[in-house]
């Protein structure tokens, strides 16, 4: 009897072990996918919250669900000062991006293509705004503007944003320049192209994706900035400042509408870029 009982227990134990090993192997094969799913879920929870509450039928406060409505999407400027603040952020973002992209691209070419005295120090200095806490940079710029007796406002915001955007442009464009094959430019010059023609027809088209990526990064950093802007804006109100001030009494649903719209615009731009890149790869293949 004991022998038959032991024979029945052994298959059950083997079955449990096989199930456990299968589960362990499955988790081992799919651990990266599980981690990626959890990470994306964590990242997109705030985005989903913002999108859902943009349809909230709320009054001044948008912290609790009151009901579904499309009125906020039909009239995104219904909340006081939200659209003027958005317009200011867009103007600052475009101006700061344009100036930082031009200056940062020239600095990147100088650092990547030329040897000069102080090049190493310049390389190190470029990283300082990226490593400096925004509170320190904002307070330093505020002290500079006050010492120079410059009135705080739109101009000081643009200057401050250019200051920290240049570093990101230089790093991005410089990485693109470093990846270029110098033989392409040499081949163009062997075909009797001068330096200007080589730069315009060979170098610039090859560096253009890096410049575009740097410009998009600079614009997103400028549009999103609050700390440095808060130090140097004076009475000028930007969209991040509007959201911060509104949070004290309840962020209006229109702010969620604008934030959701900006997210979808950025997503569409990325998807268009991916489609264009895939199309070019297929054409080359």
Q: 121: domain CATH number?
A: 1.10.3720.10
% of the chain with per-residue pLDDT over 90: 38
Q: Do 49 and 153 belong to one domain? A: no
Q: Do 87 and 43 belong to one domain? A: no
| pLDDT, average across residues 149-175 | 94
Task: With respect to residue 167, please indicate whether it lies within any of the assigned structural domains.
Answer: yes
Q: Do 103 and 220 belong to one domain? A: yes
pLDDT at residue 237, rounded to an integer: 92
Counted domains in the chain: 2
Q: What residues contact 240, with CB distance under 8 A and at least 6 apart?
A: 89, 224, 225, 226, 229
Q: Do 43 and 87 belong to one domain? A: no
- DSSP assignment of 171-230: HHHHHHHHTS-HHHHHHHHHTT--HHHHIIIIIHHHHHHHHHHHHHHHHHHHHH--HHHH
Query: Ranked by mean pLDDT, which of 11-15, 22-26, 37-41 comes out on top?
Result: 37-41
Three-state DSSP at 56 gives strand
Task: With respect to residue 275, please indicate whether it lies within any of the assigned structural domains.
Answer: no
Q: Do 125 and 176 belong to one domain? A: yes
Range of the domain at 39: 2-53
Residue 10 structure tokens:
């052994």
Using a cut of 0.75, tell me whether the model's pTM lies above it.
yes
Task: With respect to residue 8, please indicate whether it lies within any of the assigned structural domains.
Answer: yes
| pLDDT, average across residues 125-137 | 88
Contact 179, 266 (CB under 8 A): no
Q: Worst-scoring range by mean pLDDT, 90-94, 154-158, 176-180, 229-233?
A: 176-180
Residue 153 structure tokens:
């406002």
pLDDT at residue 201, rounded to an integer: 85
pLDDT at residue 20, rounded to an integer: 66
Task: With respect to residue 152, please indicate whether it lies within any of the assigned structural domains.
Answer: yes
Q: Do 92 and 229 belong to one domain? A: yes
| pLDDT, average across residues 51-71 | 83
Q: Do 140 and 193 belong to one domain? A: yes
CA distance 109 to 129: 19
């Amino acid at each position: 009897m004991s022998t038959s009982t032991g024979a029945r227990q052994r298959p059950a134990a083997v079955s449990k072990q096989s199930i456990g090993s299968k589960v362990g192997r499955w988790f081992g094969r799919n651990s990266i996918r599980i981690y990626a799913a959890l990470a994306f879920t964590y990242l997109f929870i705030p985005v989903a919250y913002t999108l859902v509450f943009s349809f909230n039928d709320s009054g001044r406060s948008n912290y609790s669900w009151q009901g579904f409505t499309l009125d906020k999407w039909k009239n995104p400027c219904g909340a006081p000062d939200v659209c003027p603040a958005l317009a200011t952020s867009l103007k600052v973002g475009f101006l700061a991006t344009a100036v930082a992209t031009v200056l940062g691209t020239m600095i990147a070419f100088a650092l990547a293509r030329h040897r000069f005295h102080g090049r190493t120090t310049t390389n190190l200095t470029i990283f300082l705004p990226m490593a400096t806490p925004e509170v320190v940079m904002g307070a330093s710029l505020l002290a500079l503007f006050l010492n120079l007796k410059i009135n705080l406002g739109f101009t000081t915001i643009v200057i401050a944003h250019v200051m920290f955007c240049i570093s990101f442009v230089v790093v991005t464009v410089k990485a693109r320049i470093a990846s270029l094959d110098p033989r392409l430019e040499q081949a163009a010059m062997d075909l009797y192209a001068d330096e200007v023609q080589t730069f315009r027809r060979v170098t610039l088209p090859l560096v253009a994706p890096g410049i575009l990526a740097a410009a998009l990064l600079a614009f997103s950093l400028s549009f999103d900035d609050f700390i440095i802007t808060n130090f140097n804006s004076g009475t000028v109100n930007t969209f991040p400042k509007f959201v911060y001030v509104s949070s004290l009494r309840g962020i209006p649903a229109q702010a969620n509408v604008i934030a959701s719209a900006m997210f979808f615009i950025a997503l569409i731009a990325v998807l268009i870029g991916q489609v264009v890149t895939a199309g070019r790869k297929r054409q080359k293949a």
